[in-house]
Amino acid sequence: MDIDKILEYQKLDSELFKLEKSIRDNADKKTASQMQNNAKVAQERSYKLNDMAKNLEKEYNNIKSQFDIQKKKMDEIFAKDVDSLSAEEVEKLKVLKDKLSANLSTLERNFARIAESMNNLLSDFNKTRKAFQMAKEQYADAKAKFDKTQSELAPHKAELEKKLSSLEKGIDKDIVESYKKRRVENIFPVVVPLAGNCCGGCRTELSLANLSVLKEKGVLTCEHCHRIIYVK
């Protein structure tokens, strides 16, 4: 087992690992993701506000039709020729007029309440729309910056990947496969020296049986962290 080749591969791969990490941890990327989420939240809020506005409109129409009915009854009372009515009928009309009048006042208060709710809703809607616009703009800005960074890094990344695939050809296939499995899990370094009787990655002590396999073969996969342990 040619450990030096694996170590050379890993050394070059450490550059790629750093580069990939810098892309993963990129601040603009994080901002873009946050702003995308903010825009989504604002959009959902505006849908909700829209539904609330529709309900208020229904309520308004309902009250309006009740108001029109009561108002019509009231107009009918006023249109009556009181002089042609008996005292008892006039008294009945007076009671009805008071009742209608109270109903109309209640409905007017409901109108005022709906108007206030509408105003609050509208102001909330405007705020939400502004928040949505702002999030969208900040998203576009951060996304553009991140894309630029990524495209600037792309040639170096491609170059490293090319060199690595060429180095890979000189290494045992099983080792390469095992290495890549750990690598996609963002475990780094993958290949570690034996430290005393322990794995140089996770510091778990190896059994005597495993130690002898390691000494015989030169490499061993750690049972605990699955890194590749080596001895020279």
**CB 199, min distance to Zn ion, A:** 3
Angle ∠(198,201,204) on CA atoms, nearest 5: 35
Is residue 202 close enough to count as binding Zn ion by CB under 5 A? yes
Number of residues that bind Zn ion (CB under 5 A): 7
Measure the CA–CA gap between 62 and 22, rounded to whole angstroms: 60
The tokens 């901002």 sit on which residue? Answer: 31
Stretch that binds Zn ion, among 67-75, 136-144, 163-171, 216-224 (CB under 5 A): 216-224
Single out the residue of 29, 35, 49, 201 in contact with Zn ion (rule: CB under 5 A): 201
Is residue 135 close enough to count as binding Zn ion by CB under 5 A? no
Is residue 225 close enough to count as binding Zn ion by CB under 5 A? yes
Stretch that binds Zn ion, among 56-64, 140-148, 171-179, 214-222 (CB under 5 A): 214-222
Burial 37-68 (b: 16+ CB within 10 A, else e): ebbeebbebbeebeebeeebeeebeebeeebe
**CB 30, min distance to Zn ion, A:** 31
Angle ∠(72,75,77) on CA atoms, nearest 5: 115
Stretch that binds Zn ion, among 143-151, 161-169, 171-179, 217-225 (CB under 5 A): 217-225
Contact 221, 228 (CB under 8 A): yes
Tokens of 83: 């002089």
Stretch that binds Zn ion, among 16-24, 45-53, 67-75, 202-210 (CB under 5 A): 202-210
Is residue 191 close enough to count as binding Zn ion by CB under 5 A? no
Strand runs labelled E in the chain = 191-195, 198-199, 219-221, 228-230
**Residues 6+ positions from 126 with CB-CB distance below 8 Å:** none
**CB 194, min distance to Zn ion, A:** 10
* Cα Dmax for the chain: 124
DSSP letters, 168-191, are HTTS-HHHHHHHHHHHHTT----E
Single out the residue of 70, 222, 228, 230 in contact with Zn ion (rule: CB under 5 A): 222
Q: Which is nearer to Zn ion, 176 or 202 (CB)?
A: 202
**CB 191, min distance to Zn ion, A:** 11
Is residue 189 close enough to count as binding Zn ion by CB under 5 A? no
Single out the residue of 199, 214, 220, 228 in contact with Zn ion (rule: CB under 5 A): 199
**CB 201, min distance to Zn ion, A:** 4
Give me the residues that bind Zn ion (CB under 5 A), please. Answer: 199, 201-202, 222, 224-225, 227
